[in-house]
Amino acid sequence: MSRAMISLGSNVNREENLPSAVRALRQHPDIAVTDVSCIFESPAVGGDYPPFFNAVVVVETDLEPAELKTALRGLEAGLGRIRTEDKNAPRAIDLDVVLFDDLDDQKLGIPDPDLSEYSYVAVPAAEVAGDWIVPGRNKTVAEIAEQASTPTLRKVPMAEQDLDLHPDDAFEEYGPADETFNPRFEALVREQLEILGEDPDREGIERTPFRVAKSMAFLTGGYTQSLKEVVNNAIFESPDSEMVMLKDIEFYSMCEHHMLPFFGRAHVAYIPDGRVIGVSKLARIVDVFARRMQIQERLSNQVADALMESLDPLGVGVVMEAAHLCMLMRGVQKQNSEMITSSLRGSFRTDARTRSEFMNLVGHELR
């Protein structure tokens, strides 16, 4: 599998198109996104055009360089890119291969000359892969970025925190939302409102299809995430062999039977075998599987299996407790009911003392 760097740019509906491009890359069957930079705003080059939003992603792929460039052209077309003779014309999205392993091929334009010429490529590239040695330059990406002129480059607020997991949130403070988010989804919501007897054009719900489409993209954002992308490089060598536990991880998911929420807390523990994981990644692993259509039993198993796959620890224990609105709002309507599931792997299953220690640590939290 090869490692590649891809630059993204948009100055047409940029608040929508840049996150949509990241989502499209994540959903591509032959591309695995492993890192995403912050978003930067830069002036357009070569004309009096709107400013750009720019970002860089690092991916792993089995595609050959030419095949990857072709795949990116397909994604551009799907996002509304129309190529014209004016190479500086405004565009919905621009996706370019910046680096591909140690390839130096001028015919393919790899490395992308823009990396050395423009800070809007070099600076975000340095954020995600500063130690990558640029073929033919004998310099790292970070060294090239240090030499780049950056007075007109501005980091977009909130992007650093939100684009990596929830790209749609990175632009909340950029004024009113675009008129549409996902036209097909919005049309389906509008039809639902009509079936329910509502007037989808009345004040108060005329924007409901847009809001529902956007919220569903967030609530099911786990479908566009991979375990490898979430864990990234946050695994570290460690001689520690005592239990590591993170309690009270809030999670929100949706029942796959009725599409109603269930929510609660997760308690996750593992016993290292030479390696530990960044503590925040435990919460992110819970989130990436919770933000899907789920049943709680499977969710617990997926979190446990993900930790086993990522760390190969001596054992993993997961306990999840949740209230299910499909039982509270409808059906049996048992208002005080909670569901508890557990998933045990390795020594948590085979060693009674380890299992007892884990359950005792969790036990006082259960209600």
Catalytically active residues are: 255-258, 296, 324, 326
Instruction: Respond yes or no on whether the N-terminal peptide bond of residue 111 is cis (omega within 30° of 0).
Output: yes
DSSP per-residue codes, 28-75: -TTEEEEEEPPPEEEPPSSSS-PPEEEEEEEEEESS-HHHHHHHHHHH
Cβ distance 8 to 57 under 8 Å? Answer: yes
How far, in Å, CA of 64 to CA of 97, rounded? 12
How far, in Å, CA of 50 to CA of 222, rounded? 32
Q: Which residues does 227 contact at the CB level (< 8 Å), separation at least 6?
A: 285, 288, 306, 309, 310
* Residue type at 262 in one-letter notation: F
Residue 188: enclosing H or E segment and its boundaries?
helix 183-195
Find, among 296, 311, 291, 298, the residue nearest to 231 by Cα: 311
How far, in Å, CA of 78 to CA of 24, rounded? 9
Query: Taken in order 141, 142, 144, 148, is the CA torsion positive or negative?
Result: positive
Q: Distances from the Cα of 205 to the Cαs of 168, 179, 199, in angstroms?
A: 21, 14, 8
How far, in Å, CA of 225 to CA of 244, rounded? 25
SS3 162: helix
